[in-house]
Amino acid sequence: MLFQTMEGGSFLNLIESIDKFAVGIFRQFLIREDADKVLILTPNEEYKRWAIAYLSTRLKGFGKKVVVECEGGRKEQKEIESPKDNLLDKYTFENFVVGPSNELAYKVCLEVAKNPGKLFNPLFIYGRSGLGKTHLLHAIGNQLKARYRVLYIPLMDFSDSMVKAFKENRVEEFRERFFNLDVLLLDDVQFLVGKERTQIELFRIYEKLQAEEKQIVLVSDRHPRDLKDVSERLISRFESGLIIEVGLDEETKRRIIKQKLILYGLPLDQETIDYVFENTGYNVREIEGFVKTLKVSGIKRLPKSEELDKEKKVQLIINTVAKGFKLNPELLKKDTKERKVINARHIAMFLCKTILNLPYSQIGEFFGKKDHTAVMYAVKKVEQRCREDRKFMYMVSFFEKSIRKSLGL
């Protein structure tokens, strides 16, 4: 026989440590346990289903294969996998960069990770994409997973898994998986919009977990009140706890850039930091992408002579456009708000981008230290007007042709 019965084996000890009531039921079953496998024989199918549902969320870290079978020799066996928590080790509190715009969210998450189910329950975190919301959810989970039953799940997966359970007549099993949690980390809650069945199931789980003071953390790209087409009762539950926004400010962005440069073994000088800063938006995912590209393609800086050459080319563009508008070229570098000057400045900036393909930040420098966002705006504005206004487009392409000719391009 494959198994030796081990009286009071480690399986029963485990169950006893979880819950005295359940151990009483398991003692009625025939249990055979060896070093790496446990076979549980239940008296009937009903007990078998119960045992499977009960164990499906409680065997984390147990380390042995557990099989439940019905006495009476049914061949069908069901192996219970140790529950997946879906947590990614790479997202921790230690590697989350903190600054003014995410400090509050960070501190509250840290508190939740110390005392789940206590102070901030539910916790609702919202903010634009790429600002570290998912990172924080995993960080909480990673801190708690050794001592608590934790599950990280994006709403779409929750929804898919629910639909599958309904189809396969396993709804109770599906619910049990959530009812037995200590910590539920639910990501991308905005996808609840319009999903009625999912909302009903989530509400049921939510109420059960809250009643037992189990921790729930929800993440969304918008505030609960902006979740249209989500039932009022769910929204009011979300709003009943603490709601925190994560953002990204200049200081935090700079700190994150430094962290990512270190991570990819790139130089940490001010020039490189500025270069990344000015060529990325307020989105950490974008910053990571940009730094990765730098790692692959290298940081290209031109020698001084070429820099000088570039300055001359920019000046030529400014002179040509200013002349067309009958303006003093220097005006384009000042802060003049006159319509005509703004127009000419936008076109000149646009041409610096399209003809010379300089970084936005550098174009800004040549135009009297203007911010890179002002250059981005100018380029977008000219592109838009070119699409809408044929005369304007002709004028811009006339400038472009004449400049290309002068530059020998």
- The residue ranges that bind ligand ADP (CB under 6 A) are 91, 96-97, 102, 129-135, 256, 259, 284-285, 288
Residue with smaller CB distance to ligand ADP, 84 or 285: 285
Residue with smaller CB distance to Mg ion, 68 or 284: 284
Residue with smaller CB distance to Mg ion, 66 or 216: 216
Closest residue to ligand ADP: CB criterion:
132
Judged by beta carbon distances under 5 to 8 A according to partner kind, the member of ligand ADP, Mg ion, none in contact with residue 238 is: none
Residue with smaller CB distance to ligand ADP, 72 or 100: 100
DSSP three-state, residue 6:
coil
Render 76-110 in DSSP notation, one character per residue. --EEEPPPP----TT--STT----TTTHHHHHHHH
193 CB neighbour count, 10 Å cutoff: 13
Q: Count residues contacting Mg ion (CB under 5 A)?
A: 1
- What is the helix (H) or strand (E) element at residue 391, kind and residue range? helix 390-406
Nearest approach, Cβ of residue 222 and ligand ADP (Å): 12
For the beta sheet containing 242-245, the strands, ordered from the edge strand earlier in sequence to the opposite edge, are 150-154, 183-187, 215-220, 123-126, 242-245
Residue with smaller CB distance to Mg ion, 134 or 320: 134
Site residues (CB under 5 A) for Mg ion, limited to 213-232: none
The residue count of the chain comes to 409
Structure-block tokens of residue 185: 């980390």
C-alpha torsion angle, residues 94, 97, 99, 105 (rounded to 10):
-60
DSSP three-state, residue 324:
helix
Nearest approach, Cβ of residue 311 and Mg ion (Å): 43
Nearest approach, Cβ of residue 276 and ligand ADP (Å): 14
Residue with smaller CB distance to ligand ADP, 248 or 341: 248
Nearest approach, Cβ of residue 223 and Mg ion (Å): 16
Residue with smaller CB distance to ligand ADP, 138 or 385: 138
Non-local (6+) Cβ contacts of 173 within 8 A are 52, 53, 56, 165
C-alpha torsion angle, residues 277, 283, 288, 291 (rounded to 10):
-20
Judged by beta carbon distances under 5 to 8 A according to partner kind, the member of ligand ADP, Mg ion, none in contact with residue 177 is: none
Judged by beta carbon distances under 5 to 8 A according to partner kind, the member of ligand ADP, Mg ion, none in contact with residue 198 is: none
CA distances from 168 to 74, 173, 394 (A): 21, 11, 64
Judged by beta carbon distances under 5 to 8 A according to partner kind, the member of ligand ADP, Mg ion, none in contact with residue 379 is: none
Site mask for Mg ion (CB under 5 A), range 123-162, x = bound:
-----------x----------------------------
> By the criterion CB under 5 A, which residues form the site for Mg ion?
134
